[in-house]
Structure 1
Amino acid sequence: METRLENKKVLVTGGAGFIGSNLCEKLLKQNNQVVCLDNFATGKRSNLNEFIADSSFQLIEGDIRNLDDCMEAVKGVEIIFHEAALGSVPRSIADPLTSNEVNVSGFLNVLIAARDSGVKRVVYAASSSTYGDSENLPKVEDVIGKPLSPYAITKYVNELYADVFSRLYNMQLIGLRYFNVFGRRQDPDGAYAAVIPKFVKALIDKKSPVINGDGSYSRDFTYIDNVLQANELAAVIDSQEAINTVYNVAFGQRTTLNELVGYLKEFLSAYDPAIADVEIHYGANREGDIPHSLASIEKASELLGYSPAYSIKDGLSEAIGWYWNNLK
C-alpha cells in the first residue's frame, strides 16, 4: 500500500490555519508543489513564515465563498485538501449564517471547482460534531445522532454533498472526522480558541483555566501528526472500498478535562515549577457540548492503514516546547 504523497501539485484550502499550515509544511518537505488558498479570517500569515519563500509554494489570498477564487486555486492541481472552515460550536450558535456561508456554500464551491477542473481526489475536513446527541461510545462512522449546533449541521451537510458529488460526477471524496486536534501553530487567542492552547496560555500566565462543568467531560484528543498521517493516507489510497466514505481521525482514547489540566501542569512545570500550584476554576457547561467523545479508529486502520503514533501525553510532550516558546 502506497503511504507517501510526493511529486504532486496539491491545493490546501485554509492553508494558513492550524491544520492547513502543518499540511503545507509536510507536503513541501516531500517535494510536492503546494497551493494555499486562504482569506486570513482565522488563519495567520505567521503560520506560513517557514516556507513562504519556497519556490514550490504558492499563496492565493482568496475566499472559498468566491467561486472564481476556487477556480483560480485548482488550476493544474491533482489533489485537494480542504481544511478551510469557520470552526467552533459557540461561534456557530452566535452567528449561524456566516458559519453556513463558509462551511456549506464554500465547500460546495470547492467541489464545483474540482469537478469543473477535473480534480478527482478531494480529502476534506469533517468533524466529530456530526455524531451529535448519539450516546454510543466509541463513535462508529455509520451511527450518528441529531446535530447539536449549526456548526455540526454544516459539517454533516458537507458529507452529504460529498456523497452526492461522488455518485453524480465520478469524483473521489474522503472525509476525515477530526476529534479535538491539538499541536503546534494552534491559536490560543480569541473567544473561540481550542481548549488545549487556551488552557496552556492561561497556565503560562499563572491564571486559572476555566473548565466548563465539573471537569468530567471527556474528549479523544488527537495530536496534529496523527491528523497529517490520516490526510496523506487518504490522498494516496487506491482501494475502491476506501474511497467515497468518511473516517474517524483520533487516537482512540478519551481524557477528561480534569486529567488534561493535570497533564498540562505536569509538562509546563518543567519550565516553571510555580505552574503546578495554579488553582483551577470551574464554570457552567457550554451550550451545544456533548459530555463524552471517543472514536473507534478501526475503519481507518483497516481501510487506510491509519496507525496513530501519538497519544495525548505523547503529543503534549512533543508540543509543549512549541507552546512554551510561542505562547509566553
Structure 2
Amino acid sequence: MGKKSTKISNNKVFITGGGGFIGSHLCERLLVNNNKVVIYDSGHRNAIIHTGLLKHPDLKFVKGDVLDFDKVRSSMRGCNLVIHCAAIAGINTVIKKPIMTMKINLFGTYNVIEAAISNKVEKFIGFSTSEVYGPYIYKGSEDDLTTQGEVGKTRWTYAVSKLAAEHLVHCYKDEYGIDI
C-alpha cells in the first residue's frame, strides 16, 4: 500500500522560531516545495543567517516575540498554515531563566494558536520535545503516560512547559476544531 504524501506545498506558511536550527532547515524544505514563508523569530538563535534564505524572494522575516500577541496576529495575516517551533531551549537557559521558559513555551503557544484562530488558519502544527516523556525519554511513545521529575526542580521546567503547551493545543482542537 502506498503511503499518503505529507509534502507541504503551495501554501503560505507562518513559522515561529524559523530562524533557529530546526526552523531554518524546515524553511529551506518549504521553499523548495513552492511555499511562501513568513518567519517570525526573536533572533536569539540566528542559525538562518548562515543559510542564504533571507534573500529568497518567497521568504519574509519578521523579528518579533511570541509574547507580543498583536504582532503575532498581524504578522500571520494571510497565512493558511502555522508551524510553531519557537521555544526557549537549552538546559543552561532553562536553569537560569525558568519563568521565561514557561512564558515563552506556554504563553507563546497560547498567543500563536489564538492568532491562528483569529486569522482562520487551516492547520496548526506545534513542535514539542521528547523531554515530555520525562526520565523514560528513550523508551517513550505517544501512548505512554507521562512522568515528570519532582515538582520544584528547575531541570523539568522545559519538559513541563512543552507538555502543557501540547495539552493546550489539543484543547483548542477539541473546542474550536482547528486541524492540528
Q: TM-score, normalised by structure 1?
A: 0.50
Cα distance in structure 1, aligned partners of 2:173 and 2:34:
29
Q: Are residues 1:28 and 2:31 paired?
A: yes
User: For 1:1-328, what aligned pairs fall within 5 Å after superposition?
Assistant: 1-44=4-47, 46-47=49-50, 49-134=51-136, 138-143=139-144, 144-147=146-149, 149-173=156-180
Deviant stretches of 4+, over 3 Å: none
Cα distance in structure 2, aligned partners of 1:149 and 1:57:
35
Where 2:55 maps in the other structure, the secondary structure is coil
Contact 2:19 2:48 in 1 (8 A): yes
Contact 1:134 1:146 in 2 (8 A): no
1:46 CA drift (Å): 1.2
Q: TM-score, normalised by structure 2?
A: 0.88
Question: Which residues of structure 1 form unaligned runs of 5+?
Answer: 174-328
Question: Which residues of structure 2 form unaligned runs of 5+?
Answer: 150-154
Q: How many residues align?
A: 171
Contact 1:108 1:161 in 2 (8 A): yes
Cα distance in structure 2, aligned partners of 1:46 and 1:140:
35
Cα distance in structure 1, aligned partners of 2:156 and 2:92:
8
Q: Which amino acid aligns with 1:57?
A: L
1:133 CA drift (Å): 3.0
1:45 CA drift (Å): 5.0
Contact 2:21 2:45 in 1 (8 A): no
Cα distance in structure 1, aligned partners of 2:11 and 2:170:
25
* Cα-to-partner distance string for 1:101-137 (whole Å, 9 max, x where unaligned): 11111111001000111113111110111111348x6
Contact 1:89 1:150 in 2 (8 A): no
Pick the structure with greater CA Rg: 1
Q: CA RMSD in A?
A: 1.6
Q: Which amino acid aligns with 2:163?
A: Y
Contact 1:9 1:34 in 2 (8 A): yes
